[in-house]
Amino acid sequence: IVLTGGDDRLWKTWGFPDGNILLTGEGHTDWLSGCCFRPSGTQLVTSSGDTTVRIWDLSRRGCILTLRGHSRAVRGCSWHSCGDFVASASADGTSKIWDVNSERCRSTLRGHEGSVNSIEFLPFSSTALTCSADKTLSLWDVRTAVRVYTFQGHVHSCNHATFN
């Protein structure tokens, strides 16, 4: 299954390799910037210009949780490998770690001087990687919300970063 999110405010799942649309989800009020399957594959997370992060249940074909707390567009999202946490990166200069079970923000990562454009978890760890319009990437210990390392070297905004 392929998952996409677009400027049309929708997410879609597509059969692979035939390309048939399987499901469509609507509910965001602005463009979608990110989407990611829960490791179990039964749910997904989306991020949007409407400042929210949403959790969707594929069997119910609907939104089961809307996470609010960013003051500007949410630029990206990712799911932790354990399936209990979601991360979001926002144009407000922060990232948030959300506990899906308690439906609350567990921590806010502060330190970038510009929009945070992406966030990824290092699988099976408490480490997250963010990148920013401030031209830096940062490694974070999400348990303590402490930045443990900053990478510098981009001449312009850094838009995405990931682990191998």
Give me the sign of the Cα torsion angle 117, 147, 84, 39: positive
pLDDT, tens digit, 9 for 90 and up, residues 90-132: 999 999 999 999 999 999 999 999 999 999 999 999 999 999 9
CA 65-70-76 angle, 5° bins: 75
- What pLDDT was estimated at residue 6? 97
The pLDDT, as a whole number, for residue 112 is 98
Radius of gyration of the chain (CA): 15
Residue that has been written with the tokens 């509910």 in this structure? 27
pLDDT at 120: 97
Query: Hey, where are the domains in the chain?
Result: 33-152
Biggest CA–CA distance in the chain, Å, is: 45
Helices (H) and strands (E) in the chain, counts: 0, 15
Average pLDDT over residues 63-75: 98
Residues 31-61: pLDDT tens digits? 999 999 999 989 999 999 999 999 999 988 8
pLDDT tens across 14-30, in order?
Answer: 999 999 999 999 999 99
Residue 137 near residue 151, CB atoms below 8 Å: yes
What integer pLDDT is reported at residue 61 of this predicted model? 80
> What does the alpha-carbon distance between residue 90 and residue 47 come to, in Å, rounded to a whole number?
9
pLDDT for the residue 39: 95
Long-range contacts of 138-147 (CB under 8 A, 24+ apart): 138/109, 138/111, 138/112, 140/95, 140/109, 142/85, 142/87, 142/97, 142/106, 142/107, 142/109, 143/107, 144/107, 145/97, 145/107, 145/108, 145/109, 145/110, 147/109, 147/111
Q: What's the CATH class of domain 33-152?
A: mainly beta
Q: Quote the CA–CA distance of 113 and 132 in Å, as a whole number.
A: 8
What pTM, to 2 d.p., does this model score? 0.95
For residue 41, the model assigns a pLDDT of: 87
